């Protein structure tokens, strides 16, 4: 889709940024399968505006530059009943246990749980012990990363508020929950279904070195609704850009006609090494999601959604033909057509 936008922009003589600006989603617009977007989508415009100075500066310097703009849902949606639970328990030694069932996979969900408890209970962080509890039925459905902050924070917030209503008595399990059970399945046949409760938005700029053709800089503006922990959020975005650049330029897992991988070593996957990573400037945008705890949207898979599109447009701006296949640079890692026939 990003490639289509840029090809249209080239045909009508406007920039990649301009065509996105003219067509960016706004509250009240109908998206995809019919969902009417709410004020949460204001983050798309905010992200696009945030990267404009960097985009314009590259253009003014005559550098090859591309832009990408994307959205990604947080949560399963599609009519699923999503329920997350948490327990807050006060011990007689002054420790506050915060129990949840989320899998820590680098998204910082334990720290999110701690910060929510500090915010709600007004206690010191060193009083809190975060526990991944497999002894209670605290089910979260799929403990996937992009919805961990949204669902987990909501459940811990609810547990803390239940405790406060009961004067935070020692030895009692205060259970809280966060539930999204109001999305719709397409099978319901609604004209305007609510497919997802929450979306995150991101705009990225990729700037190439005009001599080497390498990516010299990436600017990534991400609307997360509320950055519960800005440092963790920034780190997750940087890691996502690393993955996005690998996806765009070098990484691949091709197979032969029998379906066997042709890459048999980690090196052959051609993951970008730290020494080869360009500088990444992260701009955190906080455009709150109505009705979500603290306005949270999450920053999971959205991290790399715009990257490949931005890189492809920058490659085109350098004078090369439009890239039509990924990865752009390492041809050996492209999937082979005969593997699918």
Domains and CATH numbers, the chain: 2-75+193-340 (3.30.365.10), 82-180 (3.30.365.10)
Q: How many Å apart are CA 104 and CA 111, to the nearest integer?
A: 10
Distances (CA, A) of 252 to 149, 171, 236, 248, 336: 30, 53, 22, 9, 11
Q: What is the tens place of the pLDDT at every residue in 16-49? A: 999 999 999 999 999 989 999 999 999 999 999 9
> What is the predicted pLDDT for the residue at 103?
79
The secondary structure of 257-309 as a DSSP string is: TTS-BS--STGGG-PPPGGGPPPEEEEEE--PPTTSGGG----SGGGGTTHHH
In this prediction, residue 340 carries a pLDDT of 58
Quick: pLDDT tens for 179-231: 999 999 999 999 999 999 999 999 999 999 999 999 999 999 999 999 999 99
Q: List, for residues 69-95, the tens digit of each pLDDT value.
A: 999 988 888 999 988 899 999 999 999
The DSSP secondary structure of 59-80, one letter per residue, reads HHTT--EEEEEEEEESS--TT-
Task: Determine if the pTM surpasses 0.75.
Answer: yes
Q: pLDDT for 286-308, tens place per residue?
A: 999 999 999 999 887 888 899 99
pLDDT at 63: 98
């Amino acid at each position: 889709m990003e490639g289509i936008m840029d090809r249209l922009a080239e045909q009508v003589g406007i920039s990649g940024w301009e065509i996105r600006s003219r067509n960016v989603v706004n509250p009240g617009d109908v998206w995809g399968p019919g969902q009417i977007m709410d004020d949460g989508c204001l983050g798309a415009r905010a992200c696009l505006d945030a990267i404009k100075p960097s985009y314009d500066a590259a253009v003014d310097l005559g550098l090859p530059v591309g832009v990408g703009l994307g959205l990604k849902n947080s949560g399963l949606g599609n009519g699923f009943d999503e329920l997350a639970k948490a327990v807050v328990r006060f011990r007689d030694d002054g420790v506050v246990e915060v129990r949840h069932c989320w899998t820590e996979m680098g998204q910082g969900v334990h720290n999110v749980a701690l910060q929510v408890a500090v915010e709600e209970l007004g206690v010191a962080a060193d009083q809190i012990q975060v526990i991944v509890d497999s002894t209670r039925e605290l089910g979260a459905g799929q403990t996937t990363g992009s919805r961990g902050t949204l669902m987990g924070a909501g459940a811990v917030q609810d547990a803390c508020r239940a405790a406060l209503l009961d004067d935070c008595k020692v030895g009692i399990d205060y259970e809280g929950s966060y539930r999204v059970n109001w999305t719709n399945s397409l099978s319901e046949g609604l004209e305007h279904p609510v497919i997802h409760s929450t979306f995150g938005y991101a705009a990225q700029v990729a700037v190439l070195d005009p001599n080497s053709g390498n990516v010299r800089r990436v600017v990534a503006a991400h609307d997360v609704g509320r950055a519960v922990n800005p440092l963790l959020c920034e780190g997750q975005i940087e890691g996502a850009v690393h993955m996005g650049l690998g996806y765009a330029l070098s990484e691949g897992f091709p197979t032969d006609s029998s379906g066997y991988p042709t890459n048999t070593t980690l090196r052959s996957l051609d993951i970008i090494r730290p020494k080869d990573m360009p500088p990444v400037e992260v701009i955190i945008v906080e455009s709150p999601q109505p009705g979500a705890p603290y306005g949270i949207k999450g920053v999971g898979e959205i991290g790399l959604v715009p990257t490949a599109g931005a890189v492809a447009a920058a490659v085109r701006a350098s004078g090369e033909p439009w890239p039509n296949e990924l990865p752009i640079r390492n041809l050996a890692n492209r999937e082979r057509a005969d593997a699918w026939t």
